[in-house]
Amino acid sequence: MKFQVLSLISHSPHPLTGELPSAADRFEEVVEVGVEAERLGYDAYAVGERHAGAFLSSSPTVVLGALAARTSRIRLLTGVTVVAILDPVRVAEDYATLDQLSRGRVELVVGKGAEAGHFDLFGLDEARQWDLQKEKYELLRRLWREEDVDWQGEFRPALKGVTTVPRPYAGPPRVWHGSATSLNSTELAALHGDPLFTANAIQPREAYAKLVAHYRERFEAHGHDPARAHVAAGSGGLLIADTAEQAVSRYRELYEAKVRQTFRPDLEGKAGYNTPFRTIEDAIADGPQLIGSPQQIIDKILGYHQAYRHDLQSITVDGFGLSRGEQIETLERFAEEIAPVVRREAGSTLWEAE
């Protein structure tokens, strides 16, 4: 198993104290935690992309560029690149530039995004989101694999003899497909023989397991080697305590206040937005949140591995309002007490041949 740290760069008042850091302090925190993640041996660090809501992640390439300058080994991923609302030419240029700056450490996770407001913001029809996603991703693939590209589609002007610059550092970066609720993402990933990144963040395990199973079935049906069907899984946040009882006592108020703060009544009943795990006991027992003692968290990740057979586990430490010091302490405990056991019990060849 490989491990990634993800930040969506949330920027909302602390769920208990109401304190709100400045944007500059929040960006500094994200970069410093990324530097610490490399020091602690994590395999990847990812930054999300949101254009609406209480987030500061509208320009992930800029943040990842700052991380590229401060690190030398850790892979730099997105979580996700909202390709459906972007110009594929600009995506190809920006991330190839980042790939050059980091000397080949960039990988994209593409998806339609989890924020309902961004299609209106960019003047796009949300009802066409999957058509947008498919066309724009397939153009991005060509731009990174070919020179002198001739192309014509529905959602942007035609291209004639286009070669985007710079070229990627050492061939096209790996592109994962983020999957949360729809079979469209799993089908697109399987069609092109790309890896899948299941959100595993809000819904019950069975919902995500269904998407992963569909991906593996379609991956092989499209003629790809099933051994190359890599899967990654997110999580709904990480909170570690010495015992289960201490986890409940220490984090109950924080967890449940955060659930209330992020609840979206306008999206109630729509899959993938509001967590059904409202109490901390529910989250520990059945939710994707990694909350509890080290052994509880080990058992939960291995349970996910049994369902998904995933290669990469993503964790988030800044989603509940932990201070920078608490985030780093959490990453240290995970790296020392949890990751070695999971790596031993659930091996993966992802990235090892590279």
pLDDT tens-digit readout, 49-66: 999 889 999 999 999 999
Residues 284-327 have pLDDT tens digits of 999 999 999 999 999 999 999 999 999 999 999 999 999 999 99
3-state secondary structure at position 5: strand
Residue 113 gets the label, from left (phi > 0), alpha (psi -120 to 50) or beta, of left
Other beta carbons within 10 angstroms of residue 145's beta carbon come to 11
Closest CA to 212 of 244, 234, 242: 234
Q: For residue 79, give Cα distances in angstroms to 175, 176, 225, 272.
A: 11, 10, 26, 15
Residue 319 · residue 209 · CB < 8 Å: no
Instruction: Give the domains, in start order, of the chain with CATH numbers.
Output: 2-239+295-345 (3.20.20.30)
Q: For residue 196, give Cα distances in angstroms to 38, 191, 314.
A: 24, 11, 13
Q: What pLDDT does residue 270 have?
A: 74
Q: What pLDDT does residue 353 have?
A: 72
Residue 76 · residue 105 · CB < 8 Å: yes
Reported pTM? 0.96
Residues 12-33 have pLDDT tens digits of 999 999 999 999 999 999 999 9
Question: Cα–Cα–Cα angle for 11, 208, 340, nearest 5°?
Answer: 75
Q: φ and ψ at 201, to 5 degrees?
A: -125, -25
Q: How many helices (H) and strands (E) does the chain have?
A: 12, 12
Residue 316 · residue 235 · CB < 8 Å: yes
Q: Which residue(s) pair with 232 in the sheet?
A: 197, 312
Closest CA to 271 of 183, 186, 190, 212: 183
3-state secondary structure at position 202: coil
Structural tokens at position 81: 């690149």
Residues of the chain where predicted confidence (pLDDT) is lower than 50: none
Q: What pLDDT does residue 116 have?
A: 67
Structural tokens at position 124: 């796009």
Q: What pLDDT does residue 354 have?
A: 61
Helices (H), the chain: 23-39, 60-70, 88-101, 118-121, 129-145, 183-192, 205-221, 244-262, 280-286, 294-308, 324-333, 339-345
Q: What pLDDT does residue 275 have?
A: 86
Rounded Cα–Cα distance for residues 219 and 212 (Å): 10
Structural tokens at position 129: 């989101």
